[in-house]
Amino acid sequence: MEIRLFGVFHASPICRTRYLSELRVMGEHALPAFIAVEAAPQLFCETILPQRERFRELAARDSSFTCLGTDLIDTLARCILFEADAHMDVHGQQAVPVVWLDEHRDAETKDQGVCTSLGRNYYFWFKGYLAAKPPANIDEAFRRIHKGIAAPSKNPLTPRDLYRRDAEWAELILQRVQRSSGVDYAIVVIGVDHIASHHLSVLSVLEKTVDCRPMDITGI
């Protein structure tokens, strides 16, 4: 089995579009054995999904977003943690198992607090990327947001902090691989840093035992 690791910028509309396009092409031949996502199920369903609605509420009252219609607002809302459910746009209700790589975070109360403000935070972040002048169309809005998200962090994490979850993710993925048979590939969708050629990254750990294809879809 080949593990196809999609490296994304979280909440980028361009990454979401590229990811969906790749899923459609792959799905023409066969469904993946599973899709492993950088998310926690309870946190996503109970906290993140309501934050998408909070973003919609704020953006719907702001001409920075309404100038291009409701499609822009809806797409940007669905970009918030799109890794967790974007595949549903392609595979619908078909039985593609999801591996929740961050399931342990459901019990971490500090993450709950951060996530309850995501809708508001993304509203201000996206608005900042669009503030210079009204974008001419949705594609331009997406490019500006993608470029803003891609900008280097002013406070980059150390490798130890950045890759602190990767070994655990690799273990979860390998456990699922061992229980899967008769399928050519599986999908992992995670932040792009985690598919880097660093000895601590999940890609480097997985490559020791399974075939991997890193797929960086973050290009500007």
Domain ranges of the chain: 2-216
More confident residue, 50 or 155: 50
Q: pLDDT at position 154, please?
A: 79
- 98-121 b/e with 16+ CB inside 10 Å = b? ebbbbeebbeeeebbeebeebbeb
Give the per-residue pLDDT at 130. 92
Question: Using one digit for the tens of pLDDT, what is the confidence trace for 172-191?
Answer: 999 999 998 888 999 999 99
- The mean per-residue pLDDT over the stretch 158-178 comes to 93
pLDDT of residue 159: 86
3-state SS assignment for residue 213? strand
The pTM of the full predicted model, rounded to 2 decimals, is 0.92
Cα 153 from Cα 133, distance rounded (Å): 24
**Arithmetic mean of pLDDT over the chain:** 92
For residue 94, with 0-12 CB atoms within 10 Å meaning exposed, 13-18 middle and 19 or more buried, which class applies? exposed
Write the pLDDT tens digit of every residue in 86-140.
Answer: 999 998 877 789 999 998 766 555 555 567 889 999 999 999 999 888 899 999 9
